[in-house]
Chain A
Amino acid sequence: MRYLPLSTADREAMLAGIGVASIDDLFADIPHDRRLAGLPDLPLAKSEIEVERVLGRMAARNMPAGSVPFFVGAGAYRHHVPATVDHLIQRSEFLTSYTPYQPEISQGTLQCLFEFQTQVAALTAMEVANSGMYDGSTAAGEAVLMARRVTKRGKAVLSGGLHPQYRAVVETLAGMSDGTIDALPPDPRASEDILARIDNDTACVVVQSPSFYGSLIDLKPIAARCREVGALLVAVVTEIVSLGLIEPPGAEGADIVAAEGQSLGNALSFGGPYVGLFACRQKHIRQMPGRLTGETVDAEGARGFVLTLSTREQHIRRDKATSNICTSSGLCALAFSIHATLLGETGLRRLAAVNHANAVRLADALSGVKGVRVLNDTFFNEFTIRVPGKANDVIEKLAAKGILGGVPVSRLEPDKSDLADLILVASTETNTDADRAALVAALKEVL
């Protein structure tokens, strides 16, 4: 077996050195009657070529986004990731190191995380950010738990523009401890009256902008109402590139930002691994979940970085910890950070503008298809269309023609018949005029 360095002679010499007769003597504590008699009922070892063959065959059964006109979003977006990003994150020193528990020999990871935190805070216009969460949906769940700790209240109000799977994650996580969830019905037209739901028992209000249906939500009146009653505003962002163009949640009064960072640096990868972004106000840092990296000095006075405020964390506080998170999403955070460094302010603004421009062109083109209506007044790079008939059938017919045309809302809200004719359509910098023309032409055929 190519990954195992010990030879049979090594093993024998080592057993002799230990002073046991056989390997079984080292497993003596396992109850005899429970041990596996033979090998597990699974195939035997494969060479590298054989593994490539098997996995290559599985991969070839899928339709990669890059092989077709592609307009799928709804919380995960296909962006062009510079080759540099993937090369750098595969440096052995980044790829094969552990959580930086020994800071003297982990300054590479730690400085990168410190830079990441600063970038996330800048993008969201918040005071502080942590070193990353599993993904946007779990970050949103943790934000609700944090708001409950800060406000010592139980009720969480969820906007109907929140991604349905984020809503489910929040309901699952927050529903396991005390407090209520007030989830508004799906809001494809961005017309809900969320202010009426905020009262003196409210711990937090969770609002996504751009919303799941693509609309830009004005957070300012919601933030004002939250301040009046002492609740926290949790802003959710699933397309972080949008912040290159639109007003960031921190500038509109958000107290906590929970975002998905996949768009920068990270592949679609069928939904994971991604990286959650988590930012808040300085005064709440001791209630934050997840790892935090801080600046300090070493014994010679040189600047260095360490994991800090770990008295919030499970390995110190055990059952008093602010969350149970240990391993998080370090390498995805690094990929995000490298991509953000490459883009810089200039690149990100331009990238965001191209995304918006492409979506505007697509919306205009689709508006010209008979039977199709664009629902949004505002959007960034994704919007909702209404089609005649079942959205799911339309998407399947497009797929049969080799076009991945968007996400039928019914995929995520199967029980809501009034949403069955809605499709989310996204367009990023990766789309060309030819892609858009292909979608328009195919839609005309299938409708």
Chain B
Amino acid sequence: MLNKENRPTAPATVATPTRDTFTGNRALQVEEPLIFEIARPGVTGVDVEEPGEFEARLGGRERRAPLGLPGLSEPETVRHYVRLSRNNYAIDMGVYPLGSCTMKHNPRLNEKMARLAGFADIHPLQPLSTVPGAIELIGELARWLLELTGMHTVAMSPKAGAHGELCGMMAIKAALVARGEAGKRRKVLVPLSAHGTNPATAALLGFEVVDVPAREDGTVDPKTAESLLSDEVAAIMLTNPNTCGLFERDVVAIGVAVHKVGAFFYADGANFNAIVGKVRPGDLGVDAMHLNLHKTFSTPHGGGGPGAGPVVFSEALAPFAPLPLIRLEKDGPRLIENESEIAPGEKPFGRLTAFHGQMGMFVRAMSYMFSHGADGLKQASEDAVLNANYVRAGLRDLFSQPFGDRVCMHEVLFDDRFLEGTGVTTLDFAKAMIDEGFHPMTMYFPLVVHGAMLIEPTESESKAALDLFIATLRDLAMRAKRGEAESFRAAPVHAPRRRLDETRAARNPRLGWEKSAPIGEAPPTRHSPA
């Protein structure tokens, strides 16, 4: 077909070209060098005024050598980062079913609220009399978290989930010190399916980690827990729902057994998003639990943070919560920054961070919670669990479930038995999903299952999105079973990069751009056409 100017308006049939492009680019996929390779000396993208005349008070300690910092003009900077951004997958682009990571939709209203000058442009040490609204917001969020968890007190300052774990376990250690039992209680029980942060946290505090095996159905048997409990045990760290996507149905009995020997019950709240509005950890015997605001309450993951990990405490541990404290008093919340302001009975174990915590994340989480309300939060939990079970039902005849075909919570776990004899590994399967336009599920975690594939769709996926996801995974499974292992081993072929050599990266670590020539003069390594 030709239009009036004789310009073809329909593509001619041609063979797929195999030739590399001159630039190395692939249409919208543009190869982008490092800033150090494209910057030119003296260039800046910020117009800073000249300082004018003044007498320096540096005591002769001026910087002598150049910094070696590359600079770009504003348009070059924008282009650099926009091009790089296009090499990332994102929840805004498609299904991101990373089990236990909870990649749910990040509402943009939250971003807008966090950027209000009254939240973003206030200093942590300006007089508290000038920030009553900030303290009101922290107090309101604390109130919501306590109501949803049924707990006694909350420490708001931890910066992320693992920091929250540290906070919770430090409070437990402080409580043991107060009881004169810190020397005796050296052990912490951790199920093998736990996040790596749990044993790392316990070890950081000098505890000996004792593995707790799961029973046949993937949950902890209270009898097993009892057999490991003694007056040498400080605590159990239990994730519930656990990382196999299963609710620990004997959690109450486990809690009773833990308390019977005088130990504490730490709950990893990474999977709280499955049960918000359905059951409260405070009603299950929990003494401390961190909440990942960046999982359950939708603050964006940002390519690896920032997160926020407030910790809720039972009455037994409440006195040991760290500074700063947010005290919910009758006439409004109060922020307690120093030992000198604490009330009788409060014995904070110390301070985990400068200032008051992740305010920017608090605003986003509050915006999410206000938007959902009690009814929406409960519905979100139900939809997350419904979606995970829908994926399970859609795959159960082709995939293998390690603990049998049983109801799961917000995530569904498969193992690699269904790939036996195909020559396709979990890793290959995951990489093939990339070519199909999906982010892979969490792979090889939890460690208790061989070749684990942990899928968490979250409540943000529509039925149509899940139907395509399920159909794609079914097709991949069929291809594997048909003997197409080669194509899996080659995957991904359509991503910005093929599989990367991680061994080489670790063996000879190059952790920064190495100056082989002055900034801007180093030859781009891949960009330059042959």
B and A form one assembly: yes
A118 near B513: Cβ-Cβ < 8 Å = yes
Contact with A109, one of B69, B303, B366, B500 (Cβ below 8 angstroms): B303
- Do residues A272 and B357 form an inter-chain contact, with CB atoms below 8 A? yes
Does chain B have a CB within 8 A of A152? no
A172 near B117 with CB under 8 A, answer: no
Which residues on B sit within 8 Å (CB–CB) of A36? 277-280
Output the nearest chain A residue to B73 by Cβ-Cβ distance. A342
- Asked if A314 and B200 make an inter-chain contact with CB atoms under 8 angstroms apart, the answer reads yes
Q: How far is the CA of A176 from the CA of B270 in the complex (A)?
A: 24
Q: Does the CB pair B439–A131 fall under 8 Å?
A: no
Point out the residues of chain B lying under 8 angstroms from A13, CB to CB: 463
How far, in Å, is B348 (CB) from chain A's closest CB? 9
Determine if A60 is an interface residue (Cβ-Cβ < 8 Å): yes
Residues of B within 8 A of A285 (CB): 509, 511
Partner of B45, one of A113, A308, A344: A344
| Cα separation A253 to B151 with both chains bound (whole Å) | 49
Whether B203 lies near A321 (C-beta < 8 A) is: yes
Question: Complex: how many Å from CA A298 to CA B160?
Answer: 32
Residues of B within 8 A of A363 (CB): 57
A191 interface residue (CB < 8 Å to B): no
Residue B313, interface by CB 8 Å: no
The 8 A CB mask of B379-403 against A (1 = contact, 0 = none) is 1101101110110111000000000
CA distance A25 to B283 in the complex (A): 20
**Which of A60, A136, A341 is within 8 Å of B72, CB to CB?**
A341
**Cβ proximity bits A221-251 to B, threshold 8 Å, 1 near / 0 not:** 0000000000000000000000111111001
Are A62 and B85 CB-contacts (below 8 A) given A15-B386, A28-B407, A98-B304?
no
- The 0/1 profile, CB within 8 Å of B marked 1, for residues 165-179 of chain A is 110110111011110
Does B307 contact A327, Cβ atoms closer than 8 Å?
A: yes
Are A108 and B87 in contact (CB-based, < 8 A)?
Answer: yes
Residue of A23, A41, A309, A310 with most chain B CB atoms under a 10 A cut-off? A23
Pair B379/A129 contact, Cβ less than 8 Å: no
Contact of B116 among A46, A55, A296 (CB under 8 A): A55
Contact A326 B197, beta carbon cutoff 8 Å: yes
Contact A96 B378 (CB under 8 A): no
Is the CB–CB distance between B72 and A246 below 8 Å?
no
Q: Does B6 contact A (CB under 8 A)?
A: no
Whether A131 contacts B304 by the Cβ 8 Å rule is yes
| B 104-133 to A, binary, CB cutoff 8 A, 1 in contact else 0 | 011101011111111111111111011111
Residues of A close to B165: CB separation below 8 A = 324
Decide yes or no whether B223 CB sits under 8 A from chain A: no
Cα A58 to Cα B114 in complex, Å, equals 12
Instruction: Give the size range of B's interface with the partner.
Output: 35 or more
- Interface size range of chain A in the complex: 35 or more
| Chain A 287-298 per-residue mask, 1 if CB under 8 angstroms from chain B, else 0 | 000011111111
- Complex CA distance for A296 and B525, rounded to whole angstroms: 12
B353 touches A63 (CB 8 A): no
Instruction: List residues 330-386 of chain A with CB under 8 A from any CB of chain B.
Output: 330-332, 334, 338, 340-351, 353-354, 356-357, 359-361, 363, 376-380
Q: Which of A43-82 contact B (CB under 8 A)?
A: 43-46, 48, 50-52, 54-67, 70, 72, 74-76, 78, 82
Q: Whole-angstrom distance between the alpha carbons of A87 and B373 in the complex?
A: 30
Chain A CB count within 10 A is highest, among B63, B249, B279, B392, for: B63
The answer on a CB contact under 8 Å between A268 and B123 is: yes
Report which of A42, A121, A361, A415 forms a contact with B373, defined as CB distance below 8 A. A42
B278 near A30 (CB under 8 angstroms)? yes
Cα of A395 to Cα of B161 in the assembled complex, Å: 36
Q: Is B375 an interface residue (CB 8 A)?
A: yes
Q: How far is the CB of B133 from chain A (nearest CB, A)?
A: 3
Say yes or no: is A429 at the interface (Cβ < 8 Å to chain B).
Answer: yes
Q: How far is the CA of A349 from the CA of B356 in the complex (A)?
A: 31
Contact of B148 with A by CB under 8 A: yes
A437 to B198, CA, bound (A): 54
- The residues of B that contact A404 with a CB separation of less than 8 Å are 123, 126-127, 130
Most chain A beta-carbon contacts within 10 A, residue among B349, B354, B440, B500: B354
Interface presence of B497 (CB below 8 A)? yes
Known: A91-B82, A273-B159, A346-B43. A62 touches B499 (CB 8 A): no
| CB of B71 within 8 Å of the partner chain | yes
**Interface membership of B185, Cβ < 8 A:** no
Contacts of A100 in B (CB 8 A): 88, 303-304
| Closest chain A CB from B7 CB (angstroms) | 34
A344 to B66, CA, bound (A): 11
State whether A84 touches B498 (Cβ < 8 A): no
Interface pair A31/B249, CB less than 8 Å apart: yes
B338 touches A40 (CB 8 A): no
Interface membership of B91, Cβ < 8 A: yes
7 chain-A/chain-B pairs, Cβ below 8 angstroms? A6-B387, A40-B277, A56-B116, A93-B86, A109-B304, A176-B204, A343-B71
A105-B88, A245-B58 given. 16 additional CB < 8 A pairs? A5-B462, A31-B279, A45-B375, A55-B363, A76-B123, A76-B125, A98-B96, A131-B304, A135-B159, A136-B354, A165-B354, A268-B122, A298-B497, A321-B200, A340-B69, A344-B45
